[in-house]
Amino acid sequence: MHRVGDEERDEGNLTRALTQVFGDLDPGLLETISTEFESIDVAGGSELFHQGDPGDSLYILLRGRLNVCVADPETGLETVLGEIAPGEAVGEIGLLTGETRSASLWATRDSRLVRIGQEAFDALAEKHTVLLRQLAKIVVGRLQERVSSPKYRPRVSTIAIVPARQKNGTTRFVDQLKTTLERSGSSLHLDSERVDQLVGEQGISMAPRGSAQDTRLGQWLGDEESRWDFLLLEADAEVTEWTRRCLRQADMVLVVGNSADDPVPTGAEAELIRDQNRSRSVRQLLVMLHPASTQAIDGTLRWLENRNVDEHHHVRVDVTADVERLGRIITGKAIGLVLGGGGARGFAHAGVYRALFERGIPIDWVGGSSIGAVFGAGMAMGWEPGMVEEQARISFVEKNPFGDFTVPFVSLLRGKRIERLARNTFVGNIEDLPIPYFCVSSNLTAADLTIHERGELWRAIRASVSLPGVLPPAVNDRKLAIDGGILNNLPVDIMLGRSVGKVIAVDLSATKEYDLEYSDVPGPLEIFFSRLPFTRDLQVPSIVTLMMKATVMASDIHSKAVRNEATLLLSPAVERFGLLATADFDEIVDVGYRHARKALKTWQSE
């Protein structure tokens, strides 16, 4: 933490900030208050104070931005609750009550604040009670925000782009990203050379910390940030003062790597990895660049093993759809699609996908459970709707994966057919998929949910569809895995933890009503004879239906709880179809399509 003398204080910013915090005060009182504050500079990525520290000071932010973070008492992991913008005060609760800090504050870019201590403030407040009233208003306002505000999503305005190695295609990519971001707001692309030109001073981009040039450049960047919606700061490939400044200023860091390069971090990126503080307050995304002609991606795991990034995304150079997807993810406008489980009723997912495609609604992230994991994987592979339907028809109708019955020591089916289909259809790893994807399975060994976001795609799908009693469990990392629908049949809550702004969920958890004409469940002979012609058919669920319904009952309760969290919930009327009704493939697809087409048209018009 570096203190700046009074002679360097930005008097104009201080006056405006004090007026914003304490209201319109007498000029003489305003001058008196300002002399009691001292200026403090905090480097981006540094902590101003820590949760549990003494609450003996009030701070007002003049320039920069701060994140408010609270640590989980058990894990120690920090969650960002909000941000402090220029002109806002922080630390007022501790100053009034004497309590310790309830949260930690991290600078997300180089920031300048002013500070007044407890003793100095008490002396002023004793003479000027208006200060206490104004501070109390701030406290009340903050408490009201906590109650009424939706879940906080960090605002991204300054993005640092760090080349993983040399600037091999990075500048071209940044120009394409800038064009995409301009659909959401004005954008400015800066590198060290461009900064020198715009500021009008050769070499100012390399100004060392604490120098007069550093102060001037910091003020200039602050002005540019207020002028533009997005600043794209392209760092040098090597470690320079400009690279360090880019990292200190960023709300988000994009590490851009060429898929053909060596994946081992070097230069500027290695500096980023060494700076552990950045991971506390700034999201880091790995962007893998591929040739436009790329059909199948591989080798992503080698890049991820050396990095602690929050997400990774694939972009084919000059493929507009890929850059636009990344732009939506950065700006919080991405659309996540969640596909629920439901056996053969899941064929409706293919119809929903066709309707989304026809309405021009992009899918930026896909998640699924059980049969939803299967259809979601095809979408994440980049298949168009016709391909998804064709592959599903071949797999579930023509090849009948549910026909390999066995002696039921572990399950009714051997599971070899569905395993062979999964191996042959879903080749490659999840992390190599062009569209981000996850699916869920239930860990029978540890009794918890597994979220599959890396590793062999077919294995994840095999685990997610392993309905107990029907299919044998899958083995993942020497642990038994069963159907994802057991614990989470509609993983909307998991999708909300990803970088999406809207979630479309397809819920297939329909309830079938049985018109019972008996007081006790009929025996096998009664059921057999009831199936003969000219007899009344007794409505008794089959053994497979019983197992499938019983295993997802608890998860259905969870699904009901998360339905309202989806931006758009689609519930095709598939309850009349059996959970193994593969012969009704085309009709189920059509039900999903018609329902989604109508619902999406209404949604888009609102």
Are the CB atoms for 339 and 375 separated by under 8 Å? yes
Please provide residue 559's backbone torsions phi and psi, each rounded to the nearest 5 degrees. -60, -40
- Cα–Cα distance between 466 and 601 in angstroms, integer? 35
Q: State the amino acid at position 450 in one-letter form.
A: T
- Cα–Cα distance between 299 and 316 in angstroms, integer? 15
b or e along 374-409 (b: 16 or more beta carbons within 10 Å of the residue's beta carbon)? bbbbbbbbebebeebbebbbebbbeeebbebeeeee
Residue from 322, 483, 507, 556 carrying the catalytic annotation: 483
CA contacts within 13 A on the Cβ side of 17: 27
Pick the closest to residue 366 from 382, 355, 343, 354 (CA basis).
Answer: 382
- Concerning whether 370 is annotated as a catalytic residue, the answer is yes
Residue 568's DSSP bridge partners are 504
Residue from 39, 157, 281, 370 carrying the catalytic annotation: 370
Tokens 């949604």, residue located: 603
Q: Helices H, strands E: what count in the chain?
A: 23, 23
> Using H for helix, E for strand and C for coil, what is the string for 501-563?
CEEEEECCCCCCCCCCCCCCCCCHHHHHHHCCCCCCCCCCCCHHHHHHHHHCHHHHHHHHHHH
Tokens 């976001």, residue located: 453
- Concerning whether 34 is annotated as a catalytic residue, the answer is no
- Cα–Cα distance between 43 and 210 in angstroms, integer? 10
Please provide residue 136's backbone torsions phi and psi, each rounded to the nearest 5 degrees. -65, -35
For 131, residues 6+ apart whose C-beta sits below 8 A from its C-beta are: 22, 33, 121, 124, 125
CA angle 57, 59, 61 (to 5 degrees): 170
Are the CB atoms for 436 and 380 separated by under 8 Å? yes
The first and second tokens of residue 56, run together, are 């003996």
Determine how many CB atoms are found less than 10 A away from the CB of residue 310: 14
DSSP 465: T
Determine how many CB atoms are found less than 10 A away from the CB of residue 124: 16
- Cα–Cα distance between 434 and 439 in angstroms, integer? 15
Residue 105's DSSP bridge partners are 49, 68
For 26, residues 6+ apart whose C-beta sits below 8 A from its C-beta are: none
Q: State the amino acid at position 110 in one-letter form.
A: D
Task: Report, as residue numbers or ranges, the catalytic residues.
Answer: 370, 483
